[in-house]
Chains A and B, each alone.
Chain A
Amino acid sequence: MTPEIRPSAIARVNPVAKLAVALLISCALMLSIDWVSAAVALLLEGLLLAWCGLTARQFWLRTAPVWIAAPFGLLTTVLYGEDSGAVLFSAGIVSITEGSVALGLAIGLRVLAIGIPGIVLLATTDPTDLADGLAQVLRLPARFVLGALAGLRLVGMFIDDWQSLALARRARGVGDGGGLRGRARRFTGLAFALLVLSVRRGSKLATAMEARGFGSDEPRTWARPSVFGVRDGLIVLLGLGIAAAAITAAVLAGTWHFVLA
């Protein structure tokens, strides 16, 4: 489950700083629904992408989900969203107004502006380094962080297990037939079998970890230092800057629309 991570300026940043940036921008953009703040944030993020070290292919492949989700959100809001302002088009329950177009644009851009930093964070961060950061910089409990990290390794086995289970069902004569209902029943059966298998794997892994001294209340040391340096602080400030710029631009443009107001 370890992604291939190419050395880059962003890959060297402490994962905790990256996490903070992604959270800051998301929170700022959640406060309002308008197109100016999202567009400004997206533009500034675009400038930073040059340092993320992803190839064009990696970038498009990984961010594909948000590029699909954004136009979809935009379109549905334009067609079915809350109407206001001049009516541009209307047919049955579908109506397009100036207000719904602006809202759609705001939502589409927002999905991109929140999704892209999150995905770039994941694509340039090794899970082990993130765990080190969470435990050493943020002081989250080691038991929890390392347990989750070890569990993550099991996820990679799910795919193999799922394939083996499906093949075994075919070999047992219950791998096809029964139409849609049979398909649904098989899926449920497979999912349950996978769950049983995973629990067994998990408990074996827990024993192995305990045998290596994990899980006691004694203090532990960390083989890999996770340092939060000046550069990491600057990155967080940069994230704060993007969030502030987006909000300021929206307020100045008069499009700021606080969600709770």
Chain B
Amino acid sequence: MRGARVTANGWGWRHAGRSRPAVSGLDLHIQPGERVLVLGPSGAGKSTLMHALAGVLGDDEDGDETGELFIDGQRPSRARGRVGLVLQDPDSQVVLARVGDDVAFGCENLAVPRAEIWPRVTRALAEVGLDLPLRHPTSALSGGQKQRLALAGVLAMQPGLVLLDEPTANLDPEGVVEVRDAVLRSVQASGATLIVIEHRVAVWEHVVDRVIVLDPAGGILADGPTEDVLTAQGERLAAAGVWIPSHPPARPDRHPWTDAAGAGLLLRADGLAVGRVPFARKQAVVVADGLTLDVRAGQATTISGPNGTGKSTLALTLAGLLAPAGGGLVAGESLAAGRGTAPHRWRSRDLLERIGTVFQDPEHQFLAGTVHDELAVGPRALGLSPAEQTDIVDGLLHRLRLDHLAGANPFTLSGGEKRRLSVATVLATRPRLLVLDEPTFGQDSRTWAELVRLLAELLDTGTAMVAVTHDTDFVTALADSRLILAAGPGGATARRVLGGTVAVPARLHTGGPS
């Protein structure tokens, strides 16, 4: 099988209902078997281009096309089966309930004869390194495994062009390497052309031949061998939010908050066990136990460890949203302020000024129709006067550069803006403790730097922070202490904590980019 050739002649696309085209004036020639990394600031139309190449952009009703886009000289919609696309979100790509069936799905749609499908399925699973029975349930896979499953589904179709749209953005560091290596192995074996979009350049830098930078104003900003483009355009790309290894985002200076009053202990977990109560059950299933940690004012604690070790469950328990499944969790007097020592028994409104939680998926916590109203939810629940509400909301809009979006629907914001807004909604009620679940997932380097700077400021003024994160840059920039959860040797439910709290010398990195 040969790799596919991609040609664009002045190609462009405007989504229906938008005034500006997402992509315009694109001229592009990609040879069979080339491996290309596509970069560009958010809004440059990278995903639109990928969807167009995969033939899933839709028809005249969905937008206006200009120019020409060809795969092996054919329009993408007629090149069915020549192109395979892997998307960012692992959960939204699993189609069927069993691993083997899911991989076979694409082959069936392409009318591959049955006798040929199963050998293809077995081979694709071996190529991506998923050594699982064909009947294994897809719901039991980790994020990295789901992405490799999606890749296997694409490989089984034997495409001449493999498209990856930020395939590792939602994965832990091990998952990222798993997926990247699986991609490499398979395109090496098949000779397919590869086009990848990814913010984090370091992952792909040494495995692609060519980098293309899209210009948000239309056309191409830079195109050439990887090293040349990254050297020539590095600064510009970094400023636009692309993670370039030689231009890391600035790390904030920390000015540690000193606890004058000596009332710094906010929460103490002692032999804490955490778990969720499954649907229609009474008893919680414990995912982690024997957890011991102190949360102190002005200190940042990060929680890391592989998927499935109970990090998020621990965060939600510390945040007073889930009841502890066992052991002790006691709020210090300076946090409880007369409300009892068990945070999960506090009223919802009492949490507002005490513990603020930022969820992994910002969309889970949006309640209002506009950004302005969204920010006012907390202050209103506290019973503040309209004038006070306006003061707080306007202050936050300005501080987080959301002024121009005050009237927009929160769901229509970009990924970075949604994250800023979800943090801002929590700050509106000035909680003493911030609990964040994967705050930097899917952020480009610019929004990352903004977020880290903001959190550093809060820490320096005495707010405590607990963050679940895979992001090692985030940990080095902010963590005062780290908790690493490890999967226990026994079964899937009972897990042990190795190491307990690991104290890290505070503020290893206080300088800017090194």
- Of chain A, the residue at the smallest CB distance from B382 is A173
Q: Contacts A153-B94, A170-B321, A173-B352 given: A214-B101 contact, CB under 8 Å?
A: no
What 5 A-B pairs come out closest when comparing CB atoms?
A175-B348, A213-B109, A173-B381, A204-B92, A223-B104
Q: Which A27-41 residues sit within 8 Å CB-CB of chain B?
A: none
A168 touches B348 (CB 8 A): no
Q: Which B333-365 residues sit within 8 Å CB-CB of chain A?
A: 347-349, 351-352, 355-357, 359, 361, 363-365
Chain A residues with Cβ below 8 Å from B94 are 153
A171 touches B139 (CB 8 A): no
- Is A235 interfacial (CB 8 A cutoff)? no
- Chain B proximity of A111: nearest CB distance (Å): 23
- Of chain B, the residue at the smallest CB distance from A202 is B92
- Is B219 interfacial (CB 8 A cutoff)? no
C-alpha gap A189/B84 in the complex (Å):
39
A212 touches B104 (CB 8 A): no
B117 touches A223 (CB 8 A): yes
- Is A224 interfacial (CB 8 A cutoff)? yes
- Is B112 interfacial (CB 8 A cutoff)? yes
Q: Which A208-225 residues sit within 8 Å CB-CB of chain B?
A: 208-214, 216, 218-225
- Is B85 interfacial (CB 8 A cutoff)? yes
C-alpha gap A127/B95 in the complex (Å):
13
C-alpha gap A212/B21 in the complex (Å):
26
C-alpha gap A218/B108 in the complex (Å):
11
Task: Give per-residue flags for B99-112: 1 if the beta carbon is below 8 A from chain A beta carbons, else 0.
Answer: 01100111111111
Q: Contacts A2-B97, A212-B157, A223-B118 given: A176-B347 contact, CB under 8 Å?
A: yes
User: Residue A222 contacts which of B80, B81, B108 (CB distance < 8 angstroms)?
Assistant: B108
Q: Which A165-220 residues sit within 8 Å CB-CB of chain B?
A: 165, 167-177, 189, 193, 196-197, 200-201, 204-205, 207-214, 216, 218-220
C-alpha gap A200/B89 in the complex (Å):
12
Q: Which A139-178 residues sit within 8 Å CB-CB of chain B?
A: 149-150, 153, 156-157, 159, 161, 163-165, 167-177
C-alpha gap A156/B139 in the complex (Å):
9
Given contacts A2-B98, A173-B377, could you give 4 more A-B pairs where the C-beta distance is less than 8 Å?
A171-B356, A171-B365, A176-B349, A223-B117
- Chain A proximity of B122: nearest CB distance (Å): 12
C-alpha gap A210/B279 in the complex (Å):
32
- Is B411 interfacial (CB 8 A cutoff)? yes
Chain A residues with Cβ below 8 Å from B426 are 171
C-alpha gap A201/B109 in the complex (Å):
22
Q: Contacts A164-B359, A164-B361 given: A213-B106 contact, CB under 8 Å?
A: yes
C-alpha gap A169/B381 in the complex (Å):
11
B93 touches A208 (CB 8 A): yes
- Is A255 interfacial (CB 8 A cutoff)? no
C-alpha gap A174/B382 in the complex (Å):
10
Chain A residues with Cβ below 8 Å from B347 are 176-177
- Is B490 interfacial (CB 8 A cutoff)? no
B349 touches A212 (CB 8 A): no
B378 touches A173 (CB 8 A): yes
- Chain B proximity of A223: nearest CB distance (Å): 4
User: Residue B348 contacts which of A156, A170, A208 (CB distance < 8 angstroms)?
Assistant: A170
- Is A128 interfacial (CB 8 A cutoff)? yes
A153 touches B96 (CB 8 A): yes
A174 touches B348 (CB 8 A): yes
- Of chain A, the residue at the smallest CB distance from B355 is A171
- Of chain A, the residue at the smallest CB distance from B153 is A212
A168 touches B105 (CB 8 A): no
A173 touches B118 (CB 8 A): no
Q: Which B234-253 residues sit within 8 Å CB-CB of chain A?
A: none
B109 touches A128 (CB 8 A): no
A1 touches B97 (CB 8 A): yes
C-alpha gap A170/B112 in the complex (Å):
51
- Is B371 interfacial (CB 8 A cutoff)? no
C-alpha gap A211/B429 in the complex (Å):
44
Chain B residues with Cβ below 8 Å from A126 are 97
B348 touches A223 (CB 8 A): no
C-alpha gap A256/B80 in the complex (Å):
59
Q: Identify the interface centre among B81, B349, B355: most chain A CB within 10 Å of its CB.
A: B349
- Is B87 interfacial (CB 8 A cutoff)? yes
Chain A residues with Cβ below 8 Å from B276 are 163
A221 touches B117 (CB 8 A): yes
B365 touches A172 (CB 8 A): yes
A128 touches B98 (CB 8 A): yes
A201 touches B111 (CB 8 A): no
B106 touches A173 (CB 8 A): no
- Of chain B, the residue at the smallest CB distance from A126 is B97
Task: Give per-residue flags for A48-67: 1 if the beta carbon is below 8 A from chain B beta carbons, else 0.
Answer: 00000000000000000000
Q: Contacts A169-B367, A221-B117 given: A213-B110 contact, CB under 8 Å?
A: yes
Task: Give per-residue flags for B44-62: 1 if the beta carbon is below 8 A from chain A beta carbons, else 0.
Answer: 0000000100111000000
A-B contact pairs, 24 of them (CB 8 A): A1-B97, A2-B137, A128-B101, A149-B96, A164-B361, A167-B322, A168-B365, A169-B367, A171-B356, A173-B352, A174-B348, A174-B367, A189-B367, A200-B363, A205-B92, A208-B92, A209-B95, A213-B81, A213-B157, A218-B111, A219-B111, A221-B112, A223-B107, A223-B108
Chain A residues with Cβ below 8 Å from B55 are 211
- Chain B proximity of A243: nearest CB distance (Å): 33
C-alpha gap A153/B139 in the complex (Å):
9
A197 touches B363 (CB 8 A): yes
Chain B residues with Cβ below 8 Å from A196 are 411
Q: Which A10-54 residues sit within 8 Å CB-CB of chain B?
A: none
- Is B319 interfacial (CB 8 A cutoff)? yes
C-alpha gap A225/B101 in the complex (Å):
12
- Chain B proximity of A192: nearest CB distance (Å): 11
Chain A residues with Cβ below 8 Å from B108 are 220-223
Chain B residues with Cβ below 8 Å from A172 are 348, 352, 365, 367, 377-378, 381, 425
Chain A residues with Cβ below 8 Å from B29 are none
Chain B residues with Cβ below 8 Å from A173 are 348-349, 351-352, 377-378, 381-382, 429
- Of chain A, the residue at the smallest CB distance from B104 is A223
B321 touches A171 (CB 8 A): yes
Q: Identify the interface centre among B55, B101, B279, B365: most chain A CB within 10 Å of its CB.
A: B365
C-alpha gap A175/B320 in the complex (Å):
12
C-alpha gap A150/B96 in the complex (Å):
6
- Of chain A, the residue at the smallest CB distance from B139 is A156
B114 touches A222 (CB 8 A): yes
Chain A residues with Cβ below 8 Å from B54 are 211
C-alpha gap A163/B280 in the complex (Å):
12
A176 touches B348 (CB 8 A): yes
C-alpha gap A172/B426 in the complex (Å):
8
Q: Identify the interface centre among A161, A172, A201, A212: most chain B CB within 10 Å of its CB.
A: A212
C-alpha gap A221/B276 in the complex (Å):
42
Chain B residues with Cβ below 8 Å from A225 are 114
- Of chain A, the residue at the smallest CB distance from B422 is A168
- Chain A proximity of B448: nearest CB distance (Å): 23
Chain B residues with Cβ below 8 Å from A149 are 96
